[in-house]
Amino acid sequence: MTELRGHIRKERGFTLVELIVVIAIVGILSAIGTFAFHQWQVKSNVEAQVRQMLADFSGIRFRALTTKQKHSIIINRDSYQFKQYNNEDDLPAAGTVVPGGTHAVRYQLMMSSTTPFSGQIYEIDPQGLIDIDGGLFPGEIIPVLVSYEGATANLDCVNIHVARVSAGKTNTSGVTCDER
């Protein structure tokens, strides 16, 4: 019996202090992991939104070019929409929405870091060239910035040029989009 008692005392287990320390370490590591995961998730979602906008804007330009019809992109703070026109003289309000042409976005679309989009219309002629009220010139660029907080995404804006669309990173001034 004395042998059995001595054996039990040797295998006592963990003390309460040891268990509390281990639980504290696990809690700290899980908090750090949760924060890092959230930052990664924001970054990933912003980049996915930019890639989707890039594909959509390029696609509508291609559609205008292949159908030989005037189209437009209407950008709001929380969405963008594509319209198609039956003839060259149709007003932007007269166009019909392209099937699947309304897209809600998770992160707000901004003209600059302080100015959101509010129904700006960018017309695309039958040659696939983008125009704003006859005022967009070959060197002019329209930045579409994605507003978010948290991790820094590698792509967080889209530049609309006369003949192409490109993705990039908002510069430190929060006004322009540096292409990547």
Q: Which residues pair with 159 in a beta bridge?
A: 143, 166
Compute CA distances 161 → 35, 54, 87, whole Å. 37, 12, 23
pLDDT bucket at 50, cuts 50 / 70 / 90: very high
* C-beta of residue 160 within 8 angstroms of C-beta of residue 141: yes
pLDDT bucket at 33, cuts 50 / 70 / 90: confident
What burial class does residue 124 get, using C-beta atoms within 10 Å of its C-beta: 0-12 exposed, 13-18 middle, 19+ buried?
buried
pLDDT bucket at 1, cuts 50 / 70 / 90: low
pLDDT bucket at 180, cuts 50 / 70 / 90: confident
Residue scoring higher pLDDT (37 or 95) = 37
Res 157: pLDDT: 95
- Domains of the chain with bracketed CATH: 2-179 (3.55.40.10)
Residue scoring higher pLDDT (75 or 99) = 75
Res 82: pLDDT: 95
- Identity of residue 30: S
pLDDT bucket at 138, cuts 50 / 70 / 90: low
Compute CA distances 74 → 3, 33, 81, 98, 103, whole Å. 86, 40, 5, 12, 10
Q: How far is CA 34 from the centre of its chain?
A: 21
Per-chain mean pLDDT for the chain = 87
* Residue 36 pLDDT greater than 70, yes or no: yes
Arithmetic mean of pLDDT, 39-62? 94
Residue-wise DSSP of 44-109: HHHHHHHHHHHHHHHHHHHHHHHHT--EEEEEESSEEEEEE-SSTT--GGGSEEEEEEEEE-SS-E
Q: Is the pTM of this model over 0.85?
A: no
In the chain, % helix, strand, coil (3-state, to 5) comes to 35, 30, 35
Res 69: pLDDT: 92
Arithmetic mean of pLDDT, 157-165? 92
Q: How far is CA 45 from the centre of its chain?
A: 6
